[in-house]
Every structure is written in C-alpha cells, then in structure tokens.
Amino acid sequence: MEGMIQEFEYWTTLLCSQVALHVGLDASRIKLAVRRKIEQTGLPFMTPDALIEAVLHIQMNEETTDTASSSTSSREASPLQSAHTDSEEEGQQPMPQR
C-alpha cells in the first residue's frame, strides 16, 4: 500500500510540475516550492493550481526583496548625487584636478 501512495505522490507532483512549466513558470522556483511543501507538510501539491500559487508567491517575494535592495542601493548613492547636483545648481564650478 505504501508503494502505491508514493507512486501516486510521484505522479501527482510530476503532473503539477508539468502544468506549472507549461504556463511558463521557472523550473528552479517550481523545485523550490515542491521541496518546501514536502518539507513542511510531508505531502506533495495535490493540484497544479496550488503549486502555481506557491511558485508565484516565491516569485513575488523574490521581486520584493530585489526591489527593496535596489532602492536601498539608490538611497545610499543619493547623497553624493544630490551634493553634486546642489553645487551645480548654485553655479559653483568643480575644483580643478592637479
């Protein structure tokens, strides 16, 4: 009986993964979602929709993280850029290089 359950879980995971790939989701995110689901619950995704939703959640979290780190980088560069812009706006000439 246990062998049949494992086979069912294998085919269910395979089917769900194929559907997720077919709609254009990234294979590495699909693998990550499947791995997390099995680690957390001991069970695979039972429907393609559940897997797709989990993959999209992972993707949104990655994009949010990327956006946050790029805005932090631009904020770190801003004081230099604004200081340079302020001196130009006041009509000051840059100091000559020697």
pTM (2 d.p.)? 0.66
- pLDDT tens for 43-91 read 999 999 999 999 999 999 998 888 887 776 666 655 555 454 444 445 5
Burial of 42 (0-12, 13-18, 19+ CB in 10 A): exposed
Q: Is it true that domain 2-68 has CATH number 1.20.120? A: no
The structural domains of the chain, with segments of one domain joined by +, span: 2-68
Check residue 87 and give its pLDDT.
45
Both structure tokens of 49: 């929709």
Burial-class residue 17 by CB neighbours within 10 Å (0-12, 13-18, 19+): buried
Q: How far apart are CA 73 and CA 3, in angstroms?
A: 52
